[in-house]
Amino acid sequence: MRYFIPIDKSSIKRNERAGESHSFVAFPTEKIVHKDGSVEIIRELMEIRHLPIPEWYYNYIPIMVECSECHEKFLNTNLLSDEDSDGCYSGTICPFCGEWGCCDIEFEDIYKVIEKGKY
Ligand SMILES: [Zn+2]
């Protein structure tokens, strides 16, 4: 059976930093234990590189799906994923019976949603 996973429209937010591929994180470099027992952590800002930040942040609404093999019903967020030794991948493995491709899911396309609404 084919399921459509909708985007939670209230969760859509444009990312002001879209496209940026570096950020700063506070990295602990030193731990000082004072005589009174208090602990002080010295942090240094470190620049990290990463994949470009996506333009939109959003969440999907979990829906109930049914396994085509064992007919158990569960939220799509409980589907398992795995890759076999031949490099075949499945993101729709039943958490109950382990059937690969236990249902067919389609995630709503963020760009189609953006076209229709004002975000
Ligand atoms: Zn199953």
Handedness of CA 52, 55, 58, 60 (dihedral sign): negative
pLDDT tens digits, residue range 16-50?
999 999 999 998 989 999 999 999 999 999 999 99
Structure pTM? Answer: 0.69
8 A C-beta contact, residue 30 and residue 43: no
Query: Quick one: pLDDT at residue 117?
Result: 79
Ligand 1 centroid – CA 109 distance (Å) = 27
Ligand 1 centroid – CA 84 distance (Å) = 18
Tokens of 31: 């731990």
Tokens of 61: 């609404």
Sites in the chain below the pLDDT cut of 70: none
Nearest by Cα to 18 from 47, 45, 57 = 57
At residue 11, φ and ψ (nearest 5 deg) are: -95, -5
